[in-house]
Structure formats: structure tokens, C-alpha cells
């Protein structure tokens, strides 16, 4: 009986991603999940995005296309319209694994969660797998260790109780790269993250994406560090001291590796 399935609200923020948008939309609709609320917030795209959205309008709960200040505002608009018990967002160049929503719903029925984090596969523009993204543990401490691989859980594979977003004060519209990390960081002080090794989504990297464009993840680091420093103010002085010791050890090792790489490169070309 479908009435037992929790309502899931999925938001897609979009702007000029017509090349990938249809696959994103179909990955949501083809879940055939009975209590799906799908909302698309387009930022006034000038490519064929609106035509693609209209193609599926009869299966989309709500959609709008109008200028906005960026991804964070688009998400805030979408979540303001959402009514589901569980919520998530999938960007317009990413896509869900088949049956992802059923997997999440079953996990929630077995034991309600605040946050649920699955595995995510990073793919290239054609969908070829580049790597597997999985964060086996999410705590405030692990989130602040930005120098460790997979310290930040993969956003497309995270689902959460919608009420949590309101309790945390929503997303920070001033952030361009780290609005998801900021939410996880604030949440980690109050809520636990449940994990599954099941793949729930695909994260596409391409030249027009934030990760794939020039500068790569380096563009994210200033916002990550700003948020971490703000969060560290709530820790004790000894805790802050230990954190900065760990950070400086990492930075020192990085400098040594770079120095050694240059040294060996010079040695290899010497007569």
C-alpha cells in the first residue's frame, strides 16, 4: 500500500545545464516512487533548459524559471515549497541511481533518521566512472579535517528529514561553493548521520561544473576554511590548539612533498 511510503521532496536547482538536465529529470521521475514531490528551480536559463522542463511538466510537482542570485537561493526557494517528510537536492548535471528513493524510504521506515548518507560515483561528462565517493563517518571533527580524503560527504547521496533544515536555519545564501558543507557542519553538532555503502547517485564532473572548471576543488577551500574557523570558535582553547597543530603538520608535509618533487625533477634532468 503506497500510503506507507514517506513523502520525499527532491529539489533540482538549474541554470543553463540543458546538456545534462534531461538525464537528471529522468533519473528522478524514473524512480517511480509513489510519494515523490519533485520541484525544479531554474535561474532563468537561456539555453534549452526551459523547453526540457516543459516536456515533463505534467510529472513535475512545481517548477519556476526566473533570475536568482545562485544555487543557494534556488535551493531555498525550492525547500520553501517542499512538503515532504524527507528532502534532498540533486543538481542539474548529476543523477540518481535506480531505486535510490526506495532505498532511502526503506531505511527511514526501518529507523527514522535525521541525515542519511550513501555512496556516490563520480563520473565524467559521458558517464564513465572516475572514482567512488564515500564518507564512512560524519562528525563535527571529521568535517573540519579538510585535508583528509572524502572528509565532506557526497551531497547528491545525502537525504535528510525536511524539518531539520528549518531547525538549522536553512542554507546560507552568501556561500557559492560550500552551502552543503556549511549545512553538514552545523548539523553535525546536533544530529547524527546514518550511512550506507549502497550507491545512491552519480556526481558528474565537467568543464562547466564548479568542481571541473579551472581551479577545481581549490576554489572551495577558502569557504571551507572560513566555515571551519567560525565553527572552531565554539571549541575549547586546547581543542582549537590541537586542531591547528594537525593542520600545520599536514601543511608542512605538503610543502616537504612539493620540495622533494622539485628536487628529484631537477636531479633527473641534470647531466
**Per-residue model confidence (pLDDT) at position 271:** 58
**Per-residue model confidence (pLDDT) at position 120:** 98
- pLDDT bucket at 46, cuts 50 / 70 / 90: very high
Q: Any residues with CB less than 8 A from the CB of 196 and at least 6 apart, and which?
A: 103, 107, 116, 117, 118, 119
**Per-residue model confidence (pLDDT) at position 158:** 98
Task: Read off the pTM.
Answer: 0.89
Containing 246, the helix (H) or strand (E) segment is helix 237-269
Is 1 a residue whose pLDDT tops 70? no
Question: DSSP string covering 191-206, please?
Answer: --EEEEEEEEEEEE--
Containing 242, the helix (H) or strand (E) segment is helix 237-269
Q: pLDDT tens for residues 167-189?
A: 999 999 999 889 999 999 999 99
Which domains are delineated in the chain?
2-232 (3.90.550.10)
- pLDDT bucket at 242, cuts 50 / 70 / 90: confident
Amino acid at each position: 500500500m503506497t500510503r506507507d511510503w514517506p513523502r520525499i521532496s527532491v529539489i533540482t536547482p538549474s541554470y543553463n545545464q540543458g546538456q545534462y538536465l534531461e538525464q537528471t529529470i529522468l533519473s528522478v521521475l524514473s524512480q517511480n516512487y509513489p510519494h515523490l514531490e519533485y520541484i525544479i528551480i531554474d535561474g532563468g536559463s537561456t539555453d534549452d533548459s526551459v523547453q526540457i522542463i516543459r516536456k515533463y511538466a505534467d510529472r513535475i510537482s512545481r517548477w519556476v524559471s526566473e533570475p536568482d542570485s545562485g544555487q543557494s537561493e534556488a535551493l531555498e526557494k525550492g525547500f520553501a515549497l517542499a512538503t515532504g517528510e524527507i528532502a534532498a537536492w540533486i543538481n542539474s548535471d548529476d543523477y540518481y541511481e535506480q531505486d535510490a528513493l526506495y532505498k532511502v524510504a526503506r531505511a527511514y521506515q526501518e529507523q527514522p533518521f535525521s541525515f542519511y548518507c550513501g555512496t556516490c560515483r563520480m563520473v565524467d561528462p559521458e558517464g564513465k566512472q572516475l572514482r567512488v565517493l564515500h564518507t564512512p563517518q560524519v562528525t563535527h571533527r571529521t568535517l573540519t579535517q579538510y585535508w583528509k580524503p572524502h572528509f565532506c560527504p557526497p551531497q547528491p547521496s545525502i537525504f535528510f528529514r525536511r524539518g531539520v533544515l528549518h531547525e538549522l536555519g536553512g542554507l546560507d545564501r552568501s556561500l557559492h561553493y560550500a552551502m552543503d558543507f556549511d549545512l553538514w557542519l552545523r548539523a553535525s553538532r546536533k544530529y547524527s548521520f546514518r550511512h550506507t555503502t549502497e550507491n545512491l547517485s552519480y556526481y558528474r564532473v565537467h568543464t562547466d561544473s564548479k568542481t571541473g572548471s579551472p581551479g577545481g576543488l581549490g576554489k572551495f577551500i577558502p569557504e571551507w576554511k572560513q566555515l571551519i574557523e567560525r565553527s572552531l570558535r565554539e571549541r575549547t582553547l586546547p581543542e582549537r590548539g590541537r586542531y591547528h597543530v594537525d593542520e600545520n603538520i599536514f601543511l608542512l608535509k605538503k610543502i616537504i612533498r612539493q620540495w622533494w618533487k622539485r628536487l628529484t625533477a631537477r636531479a633527473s634532468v641534470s647531466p
